[in-house]
Chain A
Amino acid sequence: MNHVVEPIHPSTPAPGPPLAGNPEKRNVTLGLVPLNDCAPIAVALEKGLFAEVGVDVTTTREQSWAGIRDKVAFGLLDGAQMLATMPICATLGVGGFQCDMTAAMSLGLNGNAITLAEWLCEEIEEAHGPLRLDASNPADGLAEVIRGRARAGKPRLRLGSVFPVSTHELELRYWLAAAGIDPDADVELVVVPPPRMVEALRAGELSGYCVGEPWNSLAIAEGLGRIVVSKHAIWNHSPEKVLGFSTTWAQRHPDTVTALITAVIQAGQWLDEPANRLEAAEILSLPQYVGVSAEHITPALTGQLVTRRGAAPQPCPAFHVFHRGLANFPWVSHGLWFVEQMHRWGWLDTPYEAQLAVSRVFRDDLYRQAAERLGLGLPDTAEKSEGTHAAPWTLAAATGDLTMGADRFLDGAAFEPAALDLRHVSGRHTTKELTG
């Protein structure tokens, strides 16, 4: 492939007041995972945006989320694309050892989907009628199939996600539970790295999975399964990846962090121009990023999702959101929702500590510094209610009105962060509730 990437700002403008202070470290290594939503980092590098803020960035393509976390914790990476849940878990020591981590900005919203094996989709259609993407809740049909299998004494269905305490695992559980399926009892949930998902579906080891793109579209291209729901449909404009650092590193290199945020915000702005998405797919297809052919990256990236082999593309314009609607703002309320869900599934030993940790981890102050330099609008606080807007809405702010995306949950639930109070609840496997 001979794709030549043109810089966004062809001739670097004469340096006026520097956009990002004086980076303490000018050679920075960032880890990423082969997924469409590593795009902001890839674009910031390929389009010369990191260079413009005076940081020489090298990226490494990592094989596992645990590897990303450990390498950041031990200083083998300076920072990384991380699951939005990961800095919270690392800070609390949930599912691994403890290391204080910082989420400096959000890399974007949405970007995942749930794919079910073709044979399973056919069984669901027999039991429940035709499957449509983003239909109110295709899991209802799945629930019928699961009950039927239990009655017939067949083994539980095995579904995959990418990491134990991941955004994927949480949305898969949310989707199942909304249809009355107990994710711990009615199905078997296993972890499979994204690049192996398709293979596992082909081998029949999995009956479905929740994963980021392009690892759904690749299964569709082979006719192995169908995309039955997008992350956006489970929770509109929901948080997915963040730019994460160990807190020690972020504290030692404040200007470098601001510089990196500045560059990645600009990459997000470029990515949210629809005209640029095809070029972005070409960039992502490079071996150091996703490393699969652009034809599989394009459908989700351009919001023209093919949910079944041979079917006409379905418009899904919010499948990937990289900047608009304050997509880069690290909302503390998003972190609190994760904590509420981790508590729901009984993963937290100390739920209240987790609640308190979120505002230490999601550092909107770091984002604000960079956004102010770029003259971007900012919300007055770092918390907002979720699930209360089914359509775009306006957030009044001191910097001027901000246009926000819908934030509906598929079951119509609402999440009010200010009402979350985990002070007197007990932890770990004692509080699981299917409704809620």
Chain B
Amino acid sequence: MSFVALRILVIDEDPRRGATLAEVLRVTGYEAIEWSDPKNDLAKVVTDAKPDVVLINLTSPDRDTLEQLALMNEKSPRPVVMFAQDDDEQTIASAVRAGVSAYLVDGLSGNRVKPVIDVAIAHFRQHQAIREELEKTRTSLDERKHVDLAKSLLMRQRGIGEPEAYALLRKLAMDRKQRIGQVAQQLAAAAEILEGVKP
């Protein structure tokens, strides 16, 4: 499977610990960004860095800010993964079962980070799939709109009926090895330039 390195934002008040974690992540093959400065605007950091996953302490004061960003920005999924020091196995297990958060115990090594990131990635992919599904629905709606417009353009310009206009579009698409929606969009765009017809 081709794999684009996930961008992971590490938030830790303790810069040394944050740097260690980021280093482990980089060695494991992720792109890691560290953030430990409470004077900087976290919202801006997240907006600019566009991380796929955010790693943050269970106890960090920045948790609430991050929750709001997640609530407000449904279209850019950034599952939150948290790690805590003194939690027992049961706590970690119940945290992972809860689904939103995976927990990572301190004392970071590659093989401990891996399963946590795996959980995060699974969540990320799930969100991504839902998002793509939405995107597909939206695209097909847009394409239908373009096809309707292109059909009416052709009918007007060539004085033909709807079935003929559609057949013409379909032939054009087949000739160009494109989807009918794409051809229709190009036609509509050309008409907009040439005649000032708004799609």
Q: State yes or no: do A and B come from one complex.
A: yes
Select one of A62, A73, A74, A191 contacting B59, CB under 8 A: A62
A119 within 8 A of B: no
Min distance, Cβ A335 to any Cβ of chain B, angstroms:
20
- The verdict on A163 contacting chain B, using a C-beta distance below 8 Å, is yes
CB within 8 Å for A76 and B91 given contacts A64-B61, A205-B41: yes
30 A–B pairs (Cβ distance < 8 Å), ordered by A? A63-B60, A63-B63, A64-B59, A64-B60, A64-B62, A64-B64, A65-B63, A65-B64, A66-B63, A67-B59, A70-B95, A71-B58, A73-B98, A75-B91, A75-B94, A95-B67, A95-B71, A97-B98, A97-B99, A164-B68, A164-B71, A164-B72, A191-B64, A191-B65, A193-B62, A193-B64, A196-B38, A196-B61, A199-B39, A347-B71
Query: Which 5 pairs, one residue from A and one from B, show the smallest C-beta to C-beta distance?
Result: A66-B63, A191-B68, A63-B61, A64-B63, A97-B100
Known A70-B95, A74-B95, A76-B91; judge A190-B43 contact (CB<8 A): yes
In Å, the complex CA distance between A97 and B103 comes to 14
2-33 of chain A: CB within 8 A of chain B? none
CA distance A67 to B83 in the complex (A): 12
Give the size of the chain A interface in residues (CB under 8 angstroms): 31
Known pairs A95-B67, A163-B67, A164-B71; A193 contacts B61 (CB<8 A): yes
- In this assembly, does A274 line the interface, its C-beta being within 8 Å of a C-beta of chain B? no
Which residues from chain A contact B59 at a C-beta distance below 8 Å?
62-64, 67
Contact between B61 and A195, CB atoms less than 8 A apart? yes
In the bound complex, residues from chain B placing their C-beta under 8 Å from that of A205 are 41
Asked if B101 is at the interface (CB within 8 A of a chain A CB), the reply is yes
A203 at the interface (CB under 8 A from B): yes
Task: Tell me, yes or no, whether B142 is within 8 Å of chain A by CB.
Answer: no
In Å, the complex CA distance between A241 and B61 comes to 19
Majority DSSP secondary structure for residues of A touching B:
loop
List residues of chain B with CB within 8 A of the CB of A192.
Answer: 64-65
Q: Which A residues are in CB contact (< 8 Å) with B101?
A: 70, 97
CA distance A421 to B74 in the complex (A): 28
Q: For the complex, is B87 an interface residue (Cβ under 8 Å from A)?
A: yes
Contact string against A for B residues 34-65, beta-carbon threshold 8 Å, 1 for contact and 0 otherwise: 00001101010000000000000011111111
Interface residues of A (CB under 8 A from B): 62-67, 70-71, 73-76, 95-99, 162-165, 190-193, 195-196, 199, 203, 205, 347
Which residues of chain B are within 8 angstroms of A97 by Cβ–Cβ distance? 98-101
B61, B62, B90, B99 — which one has the most chain A CB atoms within 10 A of its CB?
B61
- B98 to chain A: which residues have CB within 8 Å? 73-74, 97-99
Name 10 extra pairs, CB < 8 A, besides A63-B61, A95-B67, A193-B62: A64-B62, A66-B64, A73-B94, A74-B98, A190-B43, A190-B65, A190-B68, A192-B64, A193-B64, A203-B39
CB of B128, distance to nearest CB on chain A (Å): 19
B2 to chain A, nearest CB (A): 31
Q: Which residues of B contact A74 (CB under 8 A)?
A: 87, 91, 94-95, 98
Q: Which of B58, B62, B64, B94 has the most CB of A within 10 A?
A: B64
Taking the nearest CB of chain A, how far is it from the CB of B132, in angstroms?
Answer: 20
Please measure, in the bound complex, the distance between the C-alpha atom of A96 and the C-alpha atom of B71, giving whole angstroms: 9
CB within 8 Å for A163 and B64 given contacts A62-B59, A97-B99, A190-B43: yes
Closest to A184 in B: B72
Contacts of B65 in A (CB 8 A): 190-193
